[in-house]
Amino acid sequence: MAYSYQRLDKDDVTVLMIDHQAGLLSLVRDFGPDEFKNNVMALADIAEFFDLPTILTTSFEDGPNGPLVPELKAKFPDAPYIARPGQINAWDNEEFVQAVKETGRKQLLIAGVVTDVCVAFPALAAREAGYEVFVVTDASGTFNTTVRDAAWDRMSQAGVQLMNWFSVAGELHRDWRNDIEGFGGILANHLPHYSNLIQSRDATLKN
């Protein structure tokens, strides 16, 4: 059966950051807190680096779910920001879907909290709407790994592709020569061991 490689294309990707809110984050337990914060900010840096249209959305900010984490707000001051009045599935919010449509792009990179709801529901709805959907699994969190495994399976069977921030970065960048410094900087900032490699090499070069 013929297979067609749906490959991330920086000119055809939109990033959806869904419900990374201070309250909801306290529910995330399939990642350690330091690791998860790093993963989310790595994805944000990637979106900025490749100048990808990015859409922010939250649910019920003024209840226990809490405000969007300030680092994301600061990173994307001009991004569409849809504070949903009640819809659990962001795709049920017309303003959100409209913002996606207006980017004119067919590939969606989705990350959010929690994976089984805030990520899975719009991912499945976007699949039905004909989009190529990629979930950034390590910038999305939920209650525990059992819940995560079930959510991944449901999405995967629906044709959603499971990626991680590092593979997203690599698939978008394609060639180191496009910008060695910039791309290396993202790795150094978010992969402590890659940073160590650079430091060891620089020290050796100086000697």
Given the complex with a second copy, which of 66 and 80 has the nearer CB atom?
Answer: 66
CA distance 24 to 7: 31
CA distance 160 to 97: 18
Q: CB count, 10 Å around CB of 76?
A: 19
Residue 163 in contact with a second copy, rule: CB under 8 A:
yes
Residue with tokens 């900025």: 48
Residue 51 in contact with a second copy, rule: CB under 8 A:
no
Q: Nearest CA to 8 among 185, 184, 165, 179?
A: 165
Residue 94 in contact with a second copy, rule: CB under 8 A:
no
Given the complex with a second copy, which of 38 and 54 has the nearer CB atom?
Answer: 38
Question: Is 100 in contact with 16 (CB distance < 8 Å)?
Answer: yes
List the catalytic residues: 118
Residues 96-115 that bind a second copy (CB under 8 A): 114
CA distance 130 to 100: 13
Q: Considering only 4-12, 47-55, 94-102, 104-112, which stretch makes contact with a second copy by CB under 8 A?
A: 4-12
Residue 182 in contact with a second copy, rule: CB under 8 A:
no
Q: Considering only 3-11, 45-53, 75-83, 100-108, which stretch makes contact with a second copy by CB under 8 A?
A: 3-11
Residue 177 in contact with a second copy, rule: CB under 8 A:
yes
Residue 174 in contact with a second copy, rule: CB under 8 A:
yes
Binding a second copy (rule: CB under 8 A), the pick from 11, 94, 102, 153 is 153
Residue 58 in contact with a second copy, rule: CB under 8 A:
no
H or E element, residue 193: helix 192-206
Given the complex with a second copy, which of 54 and 93 has the nearer CB atom?
Answer: 93
Q: How many CA atoms does the CB half-sphere of 12 hold within 13 Å?
A: 11
